[in-house]
Amino acid sequence: MTDQGQGSTGFDRVLHFTLPDRGARGRAVRLGPVLDTVLSAHAYPAPIRHLLAEALTVTALLGALLKDKEGQLTIQAQTQDGVVDLLVCDYRNGELRGHIRHDRARLDELGPAPSLFALFGEGYLAITFDLAATGQRYQGVVPLEGTSLAEACERYFFQSEQVPTLIRVAVQTTPSGCIAGGLLLQHLPEGEEGRERLHVQLDHPEWEHVAILGGSVKPEELVDPALDLESVVWRLFHEEPEIRVEAGAVLSRGCRCTAEYYRDVLSRFGATELVEMKDDDGLIQVDCAFCSRTFPIDLP
């Protein structure tokens, strides 16, 4: 194993790795304190906490694929008739945030471990890459199908990008908080820089080998704080001729909400609209769903 960073990767940091001889790249992550910080913004019931923990882990994995540090990755799951009518998470330069809007009364009728379909019904998943350096935006939308958000994201990459992708996520609730871990693998024939698209999986039989090894990761390995991520990758791929690993971004909760930001947004509205928004004290109360804070904005 070639280590291009220093130390071992514990909580709230991404690990990048590549398998040069297999034309594959990967990302691994384990969320701890950052996850608890995001979840604490709302009194989410247990099934919603679990769903948001999974979504944030997937977001960290996909966001870590961005080479543009100022770029943003957003995942949004939405439905018209589901118990959960909106889930949105995003990643930018190591900053994570997420929010879920749901019907608590209907959720209570589902029991302690509802399925993805029970939560969303007929929904869709949108994944958006915003590249700040070029101003380009790439978005793909797929049906919200499968047993997990991770499985739905795999379908996005296969259908929208034609890049075979494996994603595994595990979530564990402990007395001291929540831990979530994830592994992402992608087949890129030219390695980390490769852009070739796969149309027939049998054209690249080495991917099947990588996927079998990566798919053998155990949920307990992904969430075990005593097992650093380098060791997880080594357990899976130690028979490979070479594994290159590199420490990625340090993760933090990044809501990015400020009174100045909301003043800038509100300044784009017309005078009549602004008057209608003001309360009896002449303030516009702006609620941030991500961090559960209210910003009283005073505009002339």
Does residue 231 or residue 281 have the better pLDDT?
231
* Residue 230 C-beta-side C-alpha neighbours within 13 Å: 15
**H/E segment holding residue 207:** helix 206-215
pLDDT of residue 6: 46
Q: Mean pLDDT lowest for which of 240-254, 262-276, 282-296?
A: 282-296
pLDDT at 200 over 50: no
Does residue 293 or residue 176 have the better pLDDT?
176
Does residue 152 or residue 294 have the better pLDDT?
152
Burial of 160 (0-12, 13-18, 19+ CB in 10 A): middle
Does residue 249 or residue 203 have the better pLDDT?
249
DSSP-derived secondary structure letter, 192: G
Q: How far apart are CA 47 and CA 51, in angstroms?
A: 6
Q: Mean pLDDT lowest for which of 29-33, 104-108, 135-139, 227-231?
A: 135-139
Does residue 40 or residue 191 have the better pLDDT?
40
pLDDT at 4 over 60: no
Mean pLDDT of 175-198: 72
The DSSP line for 210-273 is: HHHHHHT--HHHHH-TTS-HHHHHHHHHTTSS--EEEEEEEPEE-----HHHHHHHHTTS-HHH
Q: How far apart are CA 139 and CA 73, in angstroms?
A: 10
Instruction: Give residue-wise pLDDT tens across range 135-173.
Output: 888 888 999 988 999 999 998 988 877 788 999 999 998
Mean pLDDT of all residues belonging to the chain: 86
pLDDT at 32 over 60: yes
Tokens of 293: 């804070």
Which pLDDT band, with edges at 50, 70 and 90, does 55 fall under?
A: very high
Mean pLDDT of 42-63: 95
Domains delineated in the chain: 9-253 (3.55.30.10), 259-298 (no CATH)
pLDDT at 9 over 80: no
pLDDT of residue 216: 97
Q: What pTM was computed for the model?
A: 0.86
- Which residues on neighbouring strands pair with residue 212, listed in sequence order? none
